[in-house]
Structure formats: C-alpha cells, structure tokens
C-alpha cells in the first residue's frame, strides 16, 4: 500500500484530488489538508510515502516549504503539481528537493504514474514537461562529461530501445506495452541505465540520449 498526503490551499482542488484516489485500491490517502502547520503535524505521526503538493503561485515561501519538508522528513518524496510550468519554476522546485513535477495539463494517468514512480525510488516529470525541462540542459551541455562512446558500449540493445521510447515522451506503461514487458521491468532497465551512465535523474538520462543521437528532438 502506498500512503500519500495531499496538500492544496484551494479546498475544491483538495477534495477533487482526494476523490480521485478514493477508487485506487493500492493507494491510501492518509492526509488531505490546506494548512501547512496541520500538514507538518500529520507528517510527524503518520508514515506518508508521497506528498502531492499543489502550488498555485510558486513563490519563495513555497520553495522554502519544500526545503523544510525534505529536511524534516528525508524519506518523504514530494510530487509538485502546478499550473505554472515554465522551465525556471520546474528547476527551482527540483533544486528545493521535489522529486517530481506535473503541470496543469497533465492527465490522471500521469498523476497515478507519478505516484507509483516516486514510490519505486525514481524521479518523475509529466510527459509534456520533459522536453521543457531538457531545453536548458541541452543549451548548457559542456565538454566535461565522460567519453560517450565508451558509455554507450555498456548499454544493451534493449536499454537503448527503452531510452529512445522514453525520449519520445512514452510513459512507462506505453513502453511496456510496446515491448511486451512489465512496467517494473521498464523501471528496472531505466535504473540500470542510469547506474551505468552515472546519471542522477531521468532528466539527465534523456539529456544523454539527445546529446548522443539516441533520442531525436
């Protein structure tokens, strides 16, 4: 069972998100609140795995909240949901400690996938935001990275195939369906690729694929 907390300062959005998860058998909503102080107190006594943090107006106070929560609860993984989804905002939330980001155009499927992905120990970015986040990385590629040819030689054909699909914004489920494998196998391949390439996040993974002509943009 995945235990989640939902924070949204807008009551309507809070109730809507809570209802969405009420029909998901393996996800339990332990906390749903619109108060930062209540949220912190609940997190102290409940074993919450994932926090869905809806932010309507990302400001310094919201970024500080992410920093505070990740400091107080190091095992907590935060998935930010926001209508403001320019690359600067996304990068700021990630630097503050969030492990995932979804924009307002994200689907229910992406939200669910985000929860499962974070619970499995990976970062998650909505499919429509992936290229947006990558733009800055691509523009700032430097010459201090390890030799790409040597790195690529360590990847299997299947791993390169998965990297190509992911770079085209295919979800884990869509990749699994395409290759007739399980979602868990897809996640395992991604994890192994990142370990082999010494990458820290899925954004770095796609950046590597773009730079080395594995992924077309």
pLDDT digits (tens, 9 = 90+) for 94-120: 888 899 898 877 888 889 989 998 998
- Average the pLDDT over each of 70-74, 145-149, 152-156, 207-211 and give the range with the smallest value: 145-149
The per-residue pLDDT for range 130-156, each reduced to its tens digit, is 555 555 544 544 444 444 455 566 788
Q: How far apart are CA 84 and CA 88, in angstroms?
A: 10
Indicate where the chain has its CATH 3.40.50.2300 domain(s): 2-136
Q: Is the pTM of this model over 0.85?
A: no
Burial of 112 (0-12, 13-18, 19+ CB in 10 A): middle
- pLDDT for 162 equals 85
Cβ atoms of residues 48 and 5 within 8 Å:
yes
Indicate where the chain has its CATH 1.10.10.10 domain(s): 143-211
Q: How far apart are CA 209 and CA 71, in angstroms?
A: 32
- Average the pLDDT over each of 14-18, 75-79, 203-207 and give the range with the smallest value: 203-207
CA 70 to chain centre: 15
CATH topology for 2-136?
Rossmann fold (3.40.50)
Q: Hey, what are 78's tokens?
A: 């935060």
Residue with the larger pLDDT of the pair 146 and 29: 29
The CATH code belonging to domain 143-211 is 1.10.10.10
């Amino acid at each position: 069972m995945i235990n989640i907390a939902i924070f949204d300062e807008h009551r309507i959005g809070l109730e809507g998100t809570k209802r969405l998860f009420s029909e998901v058998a393996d996800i339990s909503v332990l906390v749903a609140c619109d108060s930062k102080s209540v949220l912190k107190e609940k997190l102290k006594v409940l074993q919450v795995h994932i926090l869905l943090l809806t932010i309507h107006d990302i400001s310094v106070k919201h970024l500080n909240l992410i920093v505070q929560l990740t400091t107080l609860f190091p095992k907590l993984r935060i998935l930010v949901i926001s209508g403001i989804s320019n690359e600067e905002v996304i990068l700021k939330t990630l630097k503050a400690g969030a492990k995932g980001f979804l924009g307002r155009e994200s689907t229910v499927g992406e939200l669910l996938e985000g929860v499962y992905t974070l619970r499995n120990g990976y970062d998650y970015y909505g499919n429509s935001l992936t290229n947006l986040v990558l733009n800055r990385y691509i523009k700032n590629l430097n010459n201090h990275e390890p030799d790409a040819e040597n790195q690529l030689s360590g990847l299997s054909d299947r791993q390169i195939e998965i990297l190509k699909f992911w770079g085209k914004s295919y979800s884990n489920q869509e990749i699994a369906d395409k290759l007739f494998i399980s979602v868990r196998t897809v996640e395992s391949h991604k994890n192994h690729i990142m370990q082999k390439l010494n990458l820290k996040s899925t954004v770095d993974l796609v950046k590597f694929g773009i730079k080395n002509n594995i992924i077309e943009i």
